[in-house]
Chains A and B, each alone.
Chain A
Amino acid sequence: MIKLKIDHKFVEVEKGTTIYHAAKKLDIDIPILCYMNLEHLDIENKPGGCRICVVEVEGRRNLAPSCSTKVDEGMVVRTNSMRVINARRTVMEFILSDHPKECLTCSKSGGCDLQDLAQQLGVREIPNEETCEMSTYRLDTSPSIIRNLDKCIMCRRCEMMCNEVQTVGALSAIHRGFEAAVGTAFEMNLEASTCTYCGQCVAVCPTAALTEVDHTPQVIRAIADPKKTVIVQTAPAVRAALGEEFGMEAGTLVTGEMVTALRNLGFDHVFDTDFAADLTIMEEGTELLGRLKKHLAGDKNVKLPMLTSCCPGWVNFFETQFPDMKDIPSTARSPQQMFGPIAKTYFADKLGIKREDMVVVSIMPCLAKKYEAQRDEFKVDGNPDVDFSITTRELAHLIKQANMDIKKLDKSDFDQPMGESSGAGVIFGTTGGVIEAALRTAYEIHTGKNLEKVDFDQLRGMEGIREATVDFDGLDLKIGIAHGLGNARKLLEDIRDGKSHYHAIEIMACPGGCIGGGGQPQHHGDSAILKKRAAALYREDAGKPIRKSHENPAIKELYETFLGEPMSEKAHHLLHTHYFDRKRKRNIGV
Chain B
Amino acid sequence: MCDSKIKLKEKDIAKIKEICEFFDNKAGELISVLHRCQSEFGYLPPEIQDVVSDFMNVPVAKIYGVVTFYSFFTMKPKGKYPISICTGTACYVRGAEKVLDEFKKELNLEVGETAADGKFSLSSLRCVGACGLAPVVLVGEKTYGRVAPDDVKEILAAYEN
Is B117 an interface residue when CB atoms closer than 8 A count as contact?
A: no
Q: Which residues of A contact B51 (CB under 8 A)?
A: 586, 588
Contact partner of B7 (CB less than 8 A), chosen from A183, A193, A589, is A589
Q: Mark A490-534, 1 if CB is under 8 A from B, else 0.
A: 000000000000000000000000000000000000000000000
Is B154 an interface residue when CB atoms closer than 8 A count as contact?
A: no
Contact partner of B65 (CB less than 8 A), chosen from A173, A188, A586, A587, is A173
Q: Of residues 59 to 103 in B, which have CB atoms within 8 Å of A's CB atoms?
A: 59-65, 68-69
Q: From B6, which residue of chain A is reached at the shortest CB distance?
A: A587
Q: Of residues 528 to 575 in A, which have CB atoms within 8 Å of B's CB atoms?
A: none
Task: Decide: A185 near B5, CB < 8 A? Known: A174-B68, A175-B69, A176-B69.
Answer: no
Is A338 an interface residue when CB atoms closer than 8 A count as contact?
A: no
Contact partner of A170 (CB less than 8 A), chosen from B1, B61, B63, is B61
Is A252 an interface residue when CB atoms closer than 8 A count as contact?
A: no
Q: Which of B1, B6, B68 has the most CB of A within 10 A?
A: B68
Is B49 an interface residue when CB atoms closer than 8 A count as contact?
A: yes
Q: Mark A404-445, 1 if CB is under 8 A from B, else 0.
A: 000000000000000000000000000000000000000000
Q: What CA separation (Å) do A185 and B49 show in the bound complex?
A: 9
Would A174 and B7 count as touching, CB distance under 8 A?
A: no
Task: Decide: A184 near B8, CB < 8 A? Known: A588-B47, A588-B51.
Answer: no
Is B141 an interface residue when CB atoms closer than 8 A count as contact?
A: no
Q: What is the distance, in angstroms, from B80's C-beta to the closest C-beta of chain A?
A: 26
Q: What CA separation (Å) do A514 and B47 show in the bound complex?
A: 37
Is B50 an interface residue when CB atoms closer than 8 A count as contact?
A: yes
Would B46 and A185 count as touching, CB distance under 8 A?
A: yes
Would A175 and B68 count as touching, CB distance under 8 A?
A: yes
Contact partner of B64 (CB less than 8 A), chosen from A163, A172, A587, A588, is A172
Is B2 an interface residue when CB atoms closer than 8 A count as contact?
A: yes
Q: How large is the interface on B (under 10, 10 to 19, 20 to 34, 35 or more residues)?
A: 20 to 34
Q: Mark A164-195, 1 if CB is under 8 A from B, else 0.
A: 00001111111110000001111110000110
Is B150 an interface residue when CB atoms closer than 8 A count as contact?
A: no
Would B61 and A169 count as touching, CB distance under 8 A?
A: yes
Is A590 an interface residue when CB atoms closer than 8 A count as contact?
A: yes
Q: What is the distance, in angstroms, from A193's C-beta to the closest C-beta of chain B?
A: 7
Q: What is the distance, in angstroms, from B52's C-beta to the closest C-beta of chain A?
A: 11
Q: What is the distance, in angstroms, from B10's C-beta to the closest C-beta of chain A?
A: 5
How many residues of chain A get a CB closer than 8 Å to chain B's CBs?
23
Would B1 and A186 count as touching, CB distance under 8 A?
A: yes
Is B105 an interface residue when CB atoms closer than 8 A count as contact?
A: no
Q: From A168, which residue of chain B is reached at the shortest CB distance?
A: B59
Would B7 and A172 count as touching, CB distance under 8 A?
A: no
Q: Which residues of A contact B10 (CB under 8 A)?
A: 590
Main SS class of interface, B: helix
Q: What is the distance, in angstroms, from A496's C-beta to the closest C-beta of chain B?
A: 13
Q: Which of B58, B61, B65 has the most CB of A within 10 A?
A: B61
Q: Of residues 6 to 63 in B, which have CB atoms within 8 Å of A's CB atoms?
A: 6-10, 13, 46-47, 49-51, 58-63
Q: From B57, which residue of chain A is reached at the shortest CB distance?
A: A169
Would A185 and B68 count as touching, CB distance under 8 A?
A: no
Would B59 and A163 count as touching, CB distance under 8 A?
A: yes
Q: Which residues of B contact A174 (CB under 8 A)?
A: 61, 64-65, 68-69
Q: From B70, which residue of chain A is reached at the shortest CB distance?
A: A176
Q: What CA separation (Å) do A175 and B58 show in the bound complex?
A: 18
Q: Which of A170, A175, A183, A186 has the most CB of B within 10 A?
A: A186
Q: What CA separation (Å) do A582 and B65 show in the bound complex?
A: 23
Would B7 and A588 count as touching, CB distance under 8 A?
A: yes
Q: What is the distance, in angstroms, from A152's C-beta to the closest C-beta of chain B?
A: 14
Q: What CA separation (Å) do A193 and B68 show in the bound complex?
A: 18
Q: What CA separation (Å) do A581 and B15 show in the bound complex?
A: 28
Q: From B67, which residue of chain A is reached at the shortest CB distance?
A: A174
Would A588 and B61 count as touching, CB distance under 8 A?
A: no
Q: Which residues of B contact A188 (CB under 8 A)?
A: 1
Q: What is the distance, in angstroms, from B95's C-beta to the closest C-beta of chain A?
A: 21
Q: Which residues of A contact B69 (CB under 8 A)?
A: 173-176
Contact partner of A588 (CB less than 8 A), chosen from B1, B8, B58, B62, is B8
Would A176 and B68 count as touching, CB distance under 8 A?
A: yes
Would B61 and A185 count as touching, CB distance under 8 A?
A: yes
Q: Which residues of A contact B61 (CB under 8 A)?
A: 169-172, 174, 183-185, 193-194
Contact partner of A586 (CB less than 8 A), chosen from B1, B9, B47, is B47
Task: Decide: A194 near B59, CB < 8 A? Known: A587-B47, A588-B8, A588-B50.
Answer: yes
Q: Which residues of A contact B46 (CB under 8 A)?
A: 185-186, 587
Q: What CA separation (Å) do A187 and B62 show in the bound complex?
A: 12
Q: What is the distance, in angstroms, from B153's C-beta to the closest C-beta of chain A?
A: 31
Q: What CA separation (Å) do A445 and B132 show in the bound complex?
A: 82
Q: What CA separation (Å) do A193 and B46 show in the bound complex?
A: 13
Q: What is the distance, in angstroms, from B41's C-beta to the closest C-beta of chain A?
A: 14
Q: Which residues of A contact B1 (CB under 8 A)?
A: 186-188
Q: What CA separation (Å) do A186 and B60 show in the bound complex?
A: 9
Q: Of residues 130 to 158 in A, which have CB atoms within 8 Å of B's CB atoms?
A: none
Q: What CA separation (Å) do A589 and B49 show in the bound complex?
A: 15
Would B47 and A169 count as touching, CB distance under 8 A?
A: no
Would A586 and B59 count as touching, CB distance under 8 A?
A: no
Q: What CA separation (Å) do A395 and B50 show in the bound complex?
A: 40
Q: Of residues 184 to 214 in A, which have CB atoms within 8 Å of B's CB atoms?
A: 184-188, 193-194
Q: What is the distance, in angstroms, from A581's C-beta to the closest C-beta of chain B?
A: 15
Would B2 and A172 count as touching, CB distance under 8 A?
A: no
**A-B contacts, 28 listed (Cβ < 8 Å):** A163-B59, A168-B59, A169-B59, A170-B59, A171-B61, A172-B64, A173-B69, A174-B69, A175-B68, A175-B69, A176-B68, A176-B69, A183-B64, A184-B61, A184-B64, A185-B60, A185-B61, A185-B63, A186-B1, A186-B49, A187-B2, A187-B64, A188-B1, A586-B50, A588-B47, A588-B50, A590-B8, A590-B9
